[in-house]
Chain A
Amino acid sequence: MKHTLVTASLMAAGLFSLPTFAADIEVSVTNLTHGNHFTPLLIAAHDADSHLFQVGTQASAALQKMAEGGDIADLDAAVTGNAGVTSANPAMGLLAAGANVSDVMLDTGDNTHLSIVAMVLPTNDAFMGVDGWEIPTEAGTYTMYVNAYDAGTEANDEIINGGGMSGVPGIPAAPSGDGGVNGTGVMDNSDNSNIHTHPGVLGDMDPAGGMSDLDSRVHRWLNPVAKVVVTVK
């Protein structure tokens, strides 16, 4: 009895779900910031219950690694280990301001939702993020604008010191060589350790001192920081 019922419900689920299965999608990502890089992107298709991050909740250790140091390996493993599919590092490295990566093909298989993350560099723990966007079943081109979030795992001291490992304070690097040195550090009085909308960076005009090693004329941003275009085949 029980066996029959289970088989029947599985069959029914299969029938009803069929139209949403096996979408081929093409993704492009454009960096809309004035002077920040994105570290290697992770583009992931997964089920409805999975998330790389959720605002208002604490970051996972894997997300923290990405947000503080640009390391997507653990997030990638988590998705693929749960029957998701990914395109890891499609831009083959950093994606500079104004640059885009396009024609990223993904066969989503049974996966219904799309997430995208990358660290915004130079920052302490800012990342651009798409959280569980439901992939439309109707063929077409869909555009979304993406905000920058703060992982809430590291104080935004704006000191460039090579600190990219989780829990190590500081910013790994300013890829364009436009950062400063010897900043005294911005006092970050935020108590919000959950993922939240990033307040933006402060920066200053002093490359050899001041509070921040960031340049207020180069490294500030307003949302959105990225444009994502998804073409459902």
Chain B
Amino acid sequence: MDYTFQFEQVLPQLPYLLGGALVTLQIAFVTFWAGAVIGVGGAIAKVYGGTGARRIASSYVTFFTNTPALVQVFLLYYALPDAGVLLESMTAVLIGLTLNAGAYLTEIIRAGVISVRRSEMEAAIALGLSRLQILRHVILPHIARTIYAPLSNFFVWLVLGSSVAALFGVEELTGRAINISTANLRSIETFTVIAVIYVALTLVASTSLALVGRWAFRVRAKVF
């Protein structure tokens, strides 16, 4: 087997690829925060909601966590035109991934909400804290500490999962790599380079998230 690696055909494209990495991060950010809004709503519905709200939230979570994100976006992208709604590829990807992330985030946030113990609340009431103070000083810090680590793992997972967008023609990191490799036919080199970029990206993300967690919420997260 004699194969000569020719990275010199890929490396000049590095700025283009790094621009794609930025798009990847943007997709991950948008889906994370939009998903978090759904997640908070879903978690509240699941914990405090009536039977109807609970059932709706549960079936949403069950459906979206048991089917692949790729097919969910397929359905949005190819089926909605049938109903007269034409989505741009980026919009379809963002909506699909957000709905998917929302389901997982509902479960993560719900775990945080139910981890608040009754005795904590009682102690806070005994200390004469007002409702707002209890929320601000007891409940929210507790929830934040409990869910911070799973949330940061999930963000990293979203960075990797956003590569699905490439299959719909969105030019994020993987999409740009596909563009380059179809032009220069140096597929192994191109995809190795973006693999390294993904590793660097997620390392930076998880390290900085762990540091922020230590500083802001006193989460004892392992940096590695």
Answer yes or no: do A and B interact.
no
- Using a CB–CB distance below 8 Å, which chain B residues touch chain A? none
